[in-house]
Chain A
């Protein structure tokens, strides 16, 4: 955009920097000069001193200095600030002029050169006549200078040069053109900077000195001007603190000026400038709150200073600019590191700027509404001789005029007219939109989504006013859904109304219909008459006619729109639209539901579609169809006009197709699900409602899923919360809120009419062949065909159970290994109504624990649904949990022939094996037989025979057996040997004949066998009697192949007297035995210890008598002496 009258001048907005002119440099042809110049301008970063350099020719003409006024007495200022002043001091009048001159100290033609240099300095001085600008000379030298003081020639000649050029020593510099150019340059520019500072300091002093000549009545303008100048010079001097101070003073002074209509613009312009400077410096000083406070003060002070009422738009334009430039400053400060917050960010200023721009537009429309015949005045009153204004903010036709009344009323009039005509050409909307979009960007950044939406609505509306309907619609459409989801219906309605107008003016049929749908509906807050008007227009659009224009559209646009609509009418083909309405709130509501969440396949699926219109007039539709996930059913879910209606408005006999506002209408669909769909879900994918007809335009309202729109979920929630008991409605009517959407249903198989009974006696016994009798009985009315039974372990249990469970149909097969845990599809054949079939099933569980068994009966049966013959597959499942327990426990022990416990047995000495079978089964067990299968290391003493054959054990009963065994000799002295196996053959008492016997094999424990060299056993009566002789015979057997020397002794005992060899040593030949006879004579009654027999084997000292003594009895029972049968005592008794 080209700069307008209201834009701030660039010299105001830049950062003022000291201006230094460089002369005597030939940057085009001289490479050395070029390098010097480059070093000055390249890399001017923040660490370099703020100077703006310019190369000027040596004889450059600087702006002439006006003759100094000696007295202000008769001087009347013509304005506050000249338009050229800032630029003059920034770019035209240097603070310092530097003359570059190539001269070495050892120059042979020194005299000539020196005078040439002096001449050049003189030329510069002349052109700066009257200014305080400093002059400095830089000598460009090829040689590196010696340290100061060492080069006598140099110091002499330097002094001479200074003298010749009338320079102070501080203004003469040497620039050796060597390697360290940049370093020298930086030192040079620091020196220049000091000179410049001094210059601006003197300038400030000079301006300040004027003050004493001023008086308050005529020189008010000068007070402002001088303060502004001082502040500006301070800025050039980089003294921003003082600059701020002077600007603030200037600001106060500018508002003290006598304001009237003729100078209002000048005052406001200057106030705006100064305010800009203050805010800028405040942000620079990192005091943003001061900036904001200043700006607020500025706005409050200036808000009411409207000036000429005929040019009110100028005031709003200026206000808008104030806000905009503050926004820019704020934004710039943020880019430099300032943090803004949600409630204080540049967006607000841009927004306010946009508001003023809008106001400007309205005022312009109001004030500049001249007749088209009114043309721009000639001669142009805005033309000035110089092409520009002398002072900021003045009127071109009366520059410098400072009295209250305009000098020429006629000129004033044409001037105002010229301004008004010019204002007419301004593209206000463009300005407003630019500002709004700036604000949108800011609010987006500071998390204000709603503010952003609001501004976008305003942008859209502005585009609408600017007749850019496409952009307007795009913006409005974008934000519409935000307002819809937040349920701000009043705002949505307003946006929709604008959008409707846009779509009407562009003849966008689909958009027009979409917005109408919503504006007529329940979300719209429009009055009924407006709704009615829109609905009528909608019907017209559906009939392919041109709808009536929306109110408040301007007439030429409406005309253009009408012709567009007529073109649309002529266009055939594109007259079918599908509008996906679930994201809108259309005026027809839809809810579809399956009556139940699941249907048996032999029952028809029932689907209800509820429709309700919220529009003011009844509405007719021509088709309603429901799309289901299985499209084959779609044909059953259609309501259609049987014949093509001639006129959509004609009162039709098809009452069914007409929706009366506020009444809920129900459409019932029924269809038979296909048997293939058993176990599948049927979903409503969409409900389509066709408005209009093929002759006009067709609009399909499409609800995804089972209906509902952007507002319905909330409404449903509110309705569910509500406890309002609605009164019973008249028949056929439904309360809308009570209808809930059910968009899917399951097709499940027909209920089986078949019973499955299981007959068995749990628990199962481990390893047993457990019999289950499955009874299947048909209760169907027709033949159940193809009945199949799947029986066995229910899948999905522990994998180990599959390995340890065997299921068969015949008990005899059980021996084989290849049994599965589940028998699938055992064919049972057809079952007549009422027929019963029994199937025995044999199960063998190898491990204990619980198992779930499944009995699944499937069959097919013919039924009729809605006069349609279908074959239904039914199935009946029965499961049972069976516990498996151990049938009995077997305990085995080894005892000696005296039933003493043995922890080891001895070679060739008989011992007993005892087995105890303890029943743990809850059912009686029948032990068929038992068998001892001895290992080779053990032999039976006699023929072992089962002693428990055909015994029946009740729960908790125990059956024992006893076998006499001995071990044949072994190789080494001691070893552990296997005993063999014990096989118990058994079955459940209740099991039938054909159930095989179960053989349970128990491995007998190992036993330690030991061979002994000597075996002793005693032969004695079972009891003794006191004082009666008790003969005892000891047999001592030598089991070795050696002759054994045996030492024997009998220890005396208190209970016995005895006769026999008390101590003897004897020799026993291999394999023979020795008998020793003793006569014991018991002295006491009761259990008495026998006199102990000590045996020592001289060859086997390891065999102690302790070991041998184990074979011998240690005690005997002695009976008391019997009384003689006394006849007298009997007689006495």
Chain B
């Protein structure tokens, strides 16, 4: 499953980012950050063409040698990024979609929390455990 899951604010700063294995965290941070280039480009392209505004899933952002990076953008321009291992060929597009949907649902729950201030880093246990469930279990 995923090796890194990130939630990025509308202004492109991270709200939540977690990766396994944790020792190479910085690399994943860079991967997620650079993938925002493609996300931005895709969002602006959608804005221009007005094609199916309701499609939130952005698909494969870009492939690297080792990882595949997928993107998803909510209507409030909060971005979700999922990084999976390139060697993991069993994951199909549909599964990635459903992961994003789950992530979105859980994120909506976080937003519904009256004690959460939008724009602050996410520190929700429920969200955390949901993300953990989607990540590769670190050995």
Mark A residues whose CB is within 8 Å of B. 299, 342-343, 348, 352, 355, 447-451, 454, 457, 486-488, 490-491, 494, 714, 717-718, 721-724
Contact = CB atoms under 8 A, between A and B. Distances in A.
Given A457-B30, A718-B120, A721-B119, 6 more contacts: A451-B37, A486-B12, A488-B13, A490-B17, A491-B30, A491-B33
Contacts of B12: 486-487
B36 interface: yes
B52 interface: no
A355 B65 contact: yes
Given A721-B117, A721-B118, A723-B117, A490 B29 contact: yes
Contact of B65 (A352, A447, A491, A494): A352
Secondary structure of the A side of the interface? helix
A451 B30 CA distance: 8
Contacts of B117: 718, 721-724
Interface string B87-124: 00000000000000000000000000001011110000
Nearest to B28: A490
Contact of A348 (B36, B37, B62, B115): B62
A450 B41 contact: no
Interface residues on B, range: 20 to 34
A454 B31 CA distance: 9
Given A448-B37, A724-B117, A488 B29 contact: yes
A468 to B, nearest CB: 22
Contact of A342 (B17, B33, B37, B120): B37
A842 B69 CA distance: 85
A348 B61 CA distance: 13
Nearest to A721: B117
A447 B33 contact: no
Contact of B34 (A352, A448, A718): A448
A343 B62 contact: yes
Interface string B16-36: 010000000110011001101
B38 interface: yes
Contacts of B38: 342-343, 448
A449 B26 contact: no
A491 B29 CA distance: 7
Nearest to A352: B65
Contacts of A449: 37
Contacts of B29: 488, 490-491
Contact of A488 (B33, B65, B115, B120): B33
B34 A450 contact: yes
B33 A450 contact: yes
Contacts of B25: 490
Given A490-B26, A494-B26, A724-B117, A454 B33 contact: yes
Contacts of B11: 486-487, 714
Contacts of A352: 64-65
A491 B27 CA distance: 9
Contacts of A494: 26
B37 A447 contact: yes
A355 B115 CA distance: 44
Interface string B55-96: 000000110110000000000000000000000000000000
Contacts of A488: 13-14, 29, 33
Contact of B36 (A343, A450, A714, A722): A450
Contacts of A454: 30, 33-34
Contacts of B37: 342, 447-451
A486 B33 CA distance: 10
A120 B37 CA distance: 69
B119 A717 contact: yes
B5 to A, nearest CB: 15
Contacts of A447: 37, 41
A491 B26 contact: yes
Given A447-B41, A488-B13, A721-B119, A343 B33 contact: no
Nearest to A483: B33
A365 to B, nearest CB: 19
A722 B34 CA distance: 30
Contact of B13 (A355, A486, A724): A486
17 contacts: A343-B38, A343-B61, A352-B64, A352-B65, A355-B65, A447-B37, A450-B33, A450-B36, A451-B34, A454-B30, A490-B26, A491-B33, A494-B26, A721-B117, A722-B117, A724-B115, A724-B117
Most buried by A among B12, B14, B37, B64: B37
Contacts of A714: 11
Nearest to A488: B33
B38 to A, nearest CB: 6
Contacts of A718: 117, 119-120
A881 B45 CA distance: 60
A348 B34 CA distance: 12
Contacts of B118: 721
Contacts of B64: 348, 352
Nearest to A719: B117
Nearest to B26: A494
Contacts of B120: 718, 722
Contacts of A722: 117, 120
Contacts of A721: 117-119
A487 B13 contact: yes
Contact of B41 (A299, A342, A487, A491): A342
Contacts of A355: 65
Contacts of B115: 724
A457 B25 CA distance: 16
Contacts of A457: 30
A538 to B, nearest CB: 24
Which 10 A-B residue pairs are closest in the complex by CB-CB distance? Answer: A487-B13, A448-B37, A451-B34, A722-B117, A343-B62, A450-B34, A450-B37, A454-B34, A454-B30, A718-B119
A723 B117 CA distance: 8
A447 B36 CA distance: 11
Contacts of B41: 342, 447
Nearest to A717: B119
Contacts of B30: 454, 457, 491
A717 B13 CA distance: 14
A355 B27 CA distance: 13
A339 to B, nearest CB: 15
A338 B11 CA distance: 34
A718 B11 CA distance: 13
A718 to B, nearest CB: 5
Contacts of B36: 450
A459 to B, nearest CB: 13
A457 B34 CA distance: 12
Contacts of A487: 11-14
A488 B41 CA distance: 20
Nearest to B61: A343
A87 B138 CA distance: 54
Nearest to B37: A448
B14 to A, nearest CB: 6
Contacts of A448: 34, 37-38
Nearest to B17: A490
Nearest to A351: B64
Nearest to B69: A343
A747 B29 CA distance: 51
Contacts of B119: 717-718, 721
A835 B91 CA distance: 94
A448 B61 CA distance: 12
Q: Tell me which of A299, A342, A449 has the highest count of chain B C-beta atoms within 10 A of its own C-beta.
A: A342
B21 to A, nearest CB: 16
A303 B17 CA distance: 31
Nearest to B12: A486
B79 to A, nearest CB: 13
A343 B36 CA distance: 12
